[in-house]
Structure 1
Amino acid sequence: MVEQDNIIELVDENDDIVQFEYIMTLEYGAHDYIVLGPVDEEDDDGIVILRIEQDENDEDIYVTIDDDDELDSVFEAISEIMESDLE
């Protein structure tokens, strides 16, 4: 059973609610990122990385990263953190 404190619900492009498990928040470069994982262990599509930005009300919103170089750099930083945590 997954603890509800670590669950984040997002709305996908089909307006369906999708649940993710919160893994970490990372400050990298000029931005903050949130790292999410699948809630259902059978649905193991890997992690999801989203950039955290603020809307017009200064509330956090999660934005898809379209720049492959940015996504690769952030993924590499996350991988290094996770590897060091395992050691």
Structure 2
Amino acid sequence: MSEEFGPNFITLTDEDGNEIELEYVDALEHNGQTYMAFFPVVEDEQDPEQVENAEDYGLVILKSVLENGEELLSTLDDDEELDRVYELFMEQLLEDEEEDS
């Protein structure tokens, strides 16, 4: 039996109150912490505002944190942590791409 899974999407609200729809790309663990990568969704490639907004956000990396027993996604506030996790995601994505080739 073959099961196909479609993309996973989440909607977040940024600090300005704007809703952002994100498509789940991948997850990884680093130093006991789970990180998830997302790309902004562009529903209409012909809409310059949607394309510009997606380019502004680029690859979105969030970490999974437990708060009051509930799993939440949080931004990374440490630039060094963000840079290291970004590098790990890029390595992982490139490996996946090479395996698919």
TM category (shorter chain) comes to 0.7 to 0.9
Q: 1:20 corresponds to which residue?
A: 22
Deviation beyond 6 Å, 4+ runs, structure 1 = none
Greater Rg by CA = 2
Select which of 81, 85, 88 maps to 1:70: 81
| Structure 1 residue ranges without an equivalent (≥5) | none
Q: How far did residue 44 of structure 1 move?
A: 2.7
Letter in 1 for 2:97: L
| Structure 2 residue ranges without an equivalent (≥5) | 1-5, 46-50
* TM-score, normalised with respect to structure 1: 0.84
Q: Deviations over 1:4-56 (max 9, x none)?
A: x5110111112232110111121111210111101015223310001110111
Select which of 36, 39, 42 maps to 1:37: 39
Q: How many residues align?
A: 83
Q: Give % identity.
A: 37
Select which of 53, 64, 70 maps to 1:52: 64
Q: Name the structure where helix makes up a greater proportion of residues.
A: 2
Partner Cα distance (1:82, 1:63) in 2: 22
Letter in 2 for 1:10: L
Partner Cα distance (1:61, 1:51) in 2: 8
Partner Cα distance (2:79, 2:15) in 1: 20
Partner Cα distance (2:20, 2:86) in 1: 22
Q: 1:11 corresponds to which residue?
A: 13
Letter in 2 for 1:62: L
Q: Name the structure where strand makes up a greater proportion of residues.
A: 1
